[in-house]
Structure 1
Amino acid sequence: MLERCCGLVTLLLVSLMLSAIPVVQESGPDLPAAPEMMPSSHGGGSNLSWGPSSGLNVFVEPGRMISLQFNITNNANISDDVSFMLTWTGAWNALWNTSQLPCTTPLTVTMSPGALEWPHFDIHVPMVVNGSPLAGVRHAFTLSATSSIDGVSVNYSFTLELDAVHGVAIDSEYARLNVDPGEKLRHPVTMRNIGNARVGLAARVVPLDAEGEVLLGFSPELSFQHDGWMVGVFEVYHLSGVGANGLQPNESATVQIEVQAPAQTSGGIHIGVIGWSGGAYLDTEMVDFNVDIELRRGGLLEMETNCGDDVLPNRTCNAEISVTNTGNFADSFELVVESNPWLRTYLSRSVLVLQEGERQESIILTLQVDGMVAAFSHGTATVTLRLQDGAELGSQQVEMRVGAYVDWDLKAVEASTDSRDNVSVAFTLRNLGNGDDGLQVSMHVDVNSVYGLIPPPGATYGSSEGAPRYFEVQNVPPGVNFTFRAWMLLPTDMEANGTANMRVEMQSVLAPEIVFINETNTEFLAEQYRPENVDEESGWQRLEIVASIIWNTFSGLAIIVIVCLVGALGLHRALIYRKQKDEEWLAKQPKVEESEKPEDWLGKFAKGASDTGQAVVGAVVEAPKVAARVFTDLFTSKSKKRGEERERPSEDLLDAANVVLEHHEGERELERLDDIAGGLLDRGDPHPANIALPPSEQVAGRTVRKPKRVPAAKRKSAAKGKATTAVAVGIETPDLEPEDSQAASTPVRKDEDDELDLDL
C-alpha cells in the first residue's frame, strides 16, 4: 500500500514537472519524428502507446544528474512483456533507476491489459571538457518500448540542452627568461576558451613575490612598473576573436607580455599573467614566469698591420687596432702589449669605455726596433684585450723582422812613397751595420805600371799569379775593422812628366749601392828628368829656374796690377780731355748777367760786417764817423736837386678830400661784406669736419640785396651837364701795394682832364 502511494506521488510529481517544462516541437535531423500511434487492437496484436508526445527539451547543468520517467499504456487485450531501452549519442551515461543497469541494457516490464507503467531512468550529464558538450546544442535521446507479442517498438524522443559554461585555460607554462640590461623582450602567453559557449577572454599582469603571491599594493592591470621594470600586455585584441565576437569553444589566442629591464647589470622580476573568461570573471587562471637581467661581457679585437716588410734599426712600423663591445652593456676594456725586449711598443690608447655594440677604430700600435739589433731577427708583439677586472677576451699577434742595416766607415787612408817610387796606400774600414757584410775591392791605375792589392787574411781573389787587382771579403761581423793595401810603381820610362792616378773602389755585398772610391794622384818625372839622368845645374840654370818659379807663382798678380795701372792712366787722360772740352764750350757761350737778388745784397751786408772784423753776435757795430759839413756836402752832391715847393692846399680842400676818401672807403667795405655774405651762401661741399653734423632746417625767405655800387669814375662819365673842376692836390701817393688789396685805397691819379680822381 505504501509503495503504491509513493508511486502515485512520483507520477504526480513527474506529471507536474512535465507539464511545467515547455515542449518545443522542432523538425530536423537531430530530432526524431514523433511515433505514430498504433491503432487499438482487439485481436492478438500489441497496442502500446506513450502518454506524452515526443519533442520534450530539457535544460541540464553539466556534471549533474537528472531523473526522468515517462508513462506508457498497454492498450491490448492481453498482457505484454515490454522491453524498454534508451539510446543516445555522445559521452553521456544513463542508468535504470530500479536496477542501476545501463539504459542500453533492456528493461523488461510485464504490462497487463490497460496497465500504465512509468519506466524510470537517471541520466548523468557530462562535464564540459575542452568546450564539449557545446551549449546551445540539443542532444537527442530515444526511449523505445518493444512488445513481446509481435516485436513492435514504440519510441519516445526527447532532447537535453546544456547550460553555458565559461572557463579559461592557459596553455603556456612557467618560464625563466633572460634579458639584456635596459632592453625589451616579449614573452608569448597562449590562452584557450574551455567553456562550451562563444565568449571573449581577458589577460592581465601583476608582480609577484618569491612565493608567487601578488605584491602588496598591486592588482591585475594591463601594465605596471616596479623597481625600474616595465611590464605590459600587448596584442590583447586576439582574445576577442574574429570580429570581436569572442573565441569559439576550445579556441586559443596568444598575447604578448612585453618586459623592459632597467639599465643595470643585475636584477630580476617575477611576473604573473592572470586570465579569465568574459562570462566568469571570478574563475581565473594564472601562469607565472621570471625575467632576470643577464650581463654578457665580451669584446672583439681586430688588427691590421704594415709590418710585413723588414724594419731597420731605430725605425718603426704601425698596426691599426679596432675594438668592438660585443657585450650587452657599456663596459671598460684595456689593451695590453707584450713584446721582445728590443722591440719597443707605443699605444695611442690603452683604456677604452664602449657602449653596447660600439666600435672603436684607429687605435695605433707603433713598434720600434730599439738599437742595432742583429739583422733578420724575428720579433713578436702580442696585443691582449682584457676587461677591467683582468678577464682576457682575445689577443692578436704582430710579427716583424729586423732589416739589414748596411753601413761602412772608412776610418783611415794612409799613403806613402818610398825611395823606389813605390806608392802604397793603406785602407782601414769598419762594419757599422747590424749584420755580417762583405766588400768587393777593385783597383785600377791609368798609366802603364805595375800595381796590385794586398788583401787581408781570409779574402778570396781570382789569379794566384802576380799581384791581385780584385778581391772579396765575406762575413765581416758588425763592429769589426779590417785593413788592406793598394800599391803601384811609378813609371820610369815615360817621355814626359805626368801624374799617375790610382783608383780603388770598395763596394758592399749586401747593399751594392754603397761604394767607396779613393783616388790617389802621384806625379812622376819623365826619363830625361829623372835625377839619375840630369846633369848638375849651373848658376844661370838655377837663376832661370828661380825666375820661372817666381813667374809661375806671381804671373797672375802681376798681370792684374798692370791692367789696373793701364786702366787708371786711360781714365785720367779721359777726364782731362773732357774738362778741356767743357771749358772750350763754355767759352763759346754768351755771357748772361744775372739780376741781383735780395739774397745777394743781403749777403753784402753780411760780408761788410765780416770784413770789419767786428761781426760778433750781440755786439754793436759803430758806423764810420765823418764831419757834419763833409756829410752834408756829400749827400747834396749825390742827391737830385730839390724842386720848387708846392703850395699847401687849403683847409677846405683837405676836408673835402677827406670826406670823399671816407665815403669811398665805406663803399669799399660794404662791397667786401657783400662778397663775404655771398661766399657764405654758396652751397658747395661741406667741410669734412661738418659732414657728421645734422643738416640745418632751411626756411624759405626773401633776401633784398642792394644794387651794386658803381665806381666814382663811371658815375662821373655817366653824369651829364655837371661841371667838374680839376684841383691839384698836394698829396703824393707812394707806388707800393698795400698789405690788403681789398682794404687798401686806390692811389690818387690824374686823368686826362687834369681832374682829381679820388675813387677808391
Structure 2
Amino acid sequence: MRAAAVVLLLLLSPISIMHVTASTHDLLTCPETVPLLPGQPTTVSLIQHGVENLTLDVQNTSELEVRNLDSSILNGNRTWTMTLVASLTMANGHLDLQVDLNDATTVSSCTIDLWIRPASALVLGSSGTSTLTVNEGVTTQVAVNLTNVGSQPEDVHFTLDTASEWAWGWTLNGVQVDDPNVTVQPNELIYIGAWINVGVVGEDGRPLYGTGPAFTITASSDFDGRGDAWTFVLAMEEIRRVALESEVAMKPIAPGTDERIDVMVTNQGNVPSTVNLGLIALHPDGSVVDGFESIDRFQRNGWTAALFGALPSVPIEPGASRTFEVGLLAPWTDAGRLDVRIQAKIGSATAAVDVTGNIDLQRAFDVQDITLRCPDLEVDVPCEVRANIRNAGTYDDVASIALTLDEESDGIVNLSQTSERVVLNHGQQQDVLIARLTAHPDALAFEGATLNLHVGPEGEDLFNVKQLDLRIAPRVEWIFESVVQEEDARQRVSVTATLRNDGNIVDGLVVSMKASHGMDMSLVPPLGALVEDDADPVRSFEVEGLPIGDNITLRAWFDLPSDENVNGTVYVNLSVRSRYVPEQTFQHTVIAPYLGVPWQEEAQAEGFDLKAVAQQAWGLVQATWHIVLAVGLATVILNKAVLQRA
C-alpha cells in the first residue's frame, strides 16, 4: 500500500515566518498559508509517510521559482525539501501553489496559499534601556509611541516581560485595555504602555534606592515576527525607616546587680544610614518624666540606665540589623522598678520601645529540655537523663534534685543518680547529667517503668517537673554453646551446633548454609521447622517461637571435594538470623581441609590419615593455649604498673 504525507517546516533566513498552518488532502499534509517576502528564499520541508520512491511535482511560474527540490529518508519517512523564491516584481497578495505526489499518476495533491508582501517595519519611540524614578506605593503609567514605517497594515502583537511581582496592566493611547493587540496602518503612530502598581520598600530594604525591576515591552508583526523592543527600569525613590525590637519588655533584676537587655535596631529604609539612639525616663504609667530629654545615660531613684554598643557614627546597610544593649543597675532594695523608653531615629523616621527593670527576690528554677537520651533501656548501655536547669531567682541559689521510681520498677530498671544538688549563680543555666539508667539483666523486653523528676530550692518543697515513661529494649542474642564436626571414611563432614537464646524476648531463627566450594551439602531441619516445599538438599529453614534461655540443636553435613587437583580448605558458614531483628545475624564458620587428587592417591599408598593430622594440630592448641594466655595477662599487668609509676 502506498502512503504519503507532507508537513511544512519553515526555515526563513535571516527572519522567521509566522502563522504557518497545515491541512490534510488525502495522503498529503500541506500548509494552508505560507508567508513569502519578495526575493527572500524560503525553505519548505515536506514529509512523505513511508519510503517509497515517488516523485513530487511543484508548479513553477515566472513569478515564483522553485529551487533545490530534493528528498531524504528519516525515521521511516521520506522528507522532501524545496526553496521558494518570489520575484521582486511580484504583486502583493495571495497565490495558490499546486503540489502533486506522483507514481506514474497523481496519488495525492494539495494547494498551498502563498501570502506575498514586503517585510514589516515597526519602530518604537525609545530603544535600549531607560531608568525612571518612582515613588513607593504609587501607581505609575509608562508609555512609548509605536510607528508603522512599512508599506502594509500590520496586526501588531505586544508583550511585556518582567520578573517583578508588582501588579500591572496595559494602556493603549492612554486608555487602560485588557488586550493591547491592534492593527496599525502605514505611517500611523500609536501609544502603547502600561500602568504599574509600584510596591513599597520591604523590611529587607529592597528595592534599594535607585534600583528596581525591569520591564520590557516588545511589539511584533503577526506577518513575519519582526518588531522592536524597549526596556525600562523603575528605580525606587530614597526611603528612610527604622524599627526597634527588644529582647524582653520586663527584666527581673536581683538587688544590687545589673542586667543588660539586648535590643535590635533595623534599617528598614533603602539607603545606608546612621542611627541616633537615646534613653528617656518614664513614669510607671508610660508617661515621660517632665523635663527629660533623650540621652545615652541617666540615673533616677538609685537606678542607672545606659546604652552599650550604640555606634552612632557607623551606618547600617538597608535591611540589616544591629544589636546593642541597655544596661540596668538596680539599687540595693527589696522593691522598685525603672521604666525606660528606648528611642531610635533615622532622619525624620522614629521608632521606640519601652522596657522595665524590676526588683525580684523570688527563689525559682526553670527546668527545660528534660531528655531521656535513648528510646529504650539496655543492660550494657547506660541511658542518660539530662536537663537544663536555670536559676530563675534573684540571687545565687542551690537547686535540689530528687528521682523516684514507681514500685513496679523493682527488678526492671537500675538507677544511678549522678546529681543531687546544683549550685547556680543568678541567671545562670547549666546542662545537668542527672542520672544514668540501665535495664536489669533479668528484665523482659518491653517491660515498663515510670521515673519522676523533682526539682526545687534546697531546703524547700520540691515540685514534680517531669514524669518519664521507661521501657526495656528487646535484646536479641544467640550463643553458639558448642559446635562439633566429624568426618567419616566417605569424606562427609557432619556438624552439630547447639545455640541458646540469651536474649530477653521469645525469638525465631532463619538458618542458612553457604560454602566456599561447590559440593554436596545440606541442613538437617529439626522437628517443626519450616522448609521450602520439595527443597532437597535443604539450604535454609526457619524455626519460630523459641523461649528465652532455651537451646536448639542445628545439624548439617557436607561432602569434601574429591576431584580438586590441589589441596585446599573448605569454609562452610552456618548463619543464624533473628526473626525478630532480621538484620542481626550470628554466624559460625566450619573449616575442613581436603586433599587434591594426586595427594589422595599418595595418601592411599602411604596410609596418610588427614583426620589424624588435624587431631594432632588440635591437641597442640589445647596444650599451649593457657601458656599464651598467661603471657598476655602478665604483659598487661606490667604495662599498667609502669604507667602508674610514671
- TM-score bracket, normalised by the shorter chain, equals 0.3 to 0.5
- State the TM-score, normalized to the length of structure 2: 0.37
Q: Which has the higher helix share?
A: 1
| Higher Cα Rg, which structure | 1
Higher relative contact order (CA 8 A, sep 6+): 2
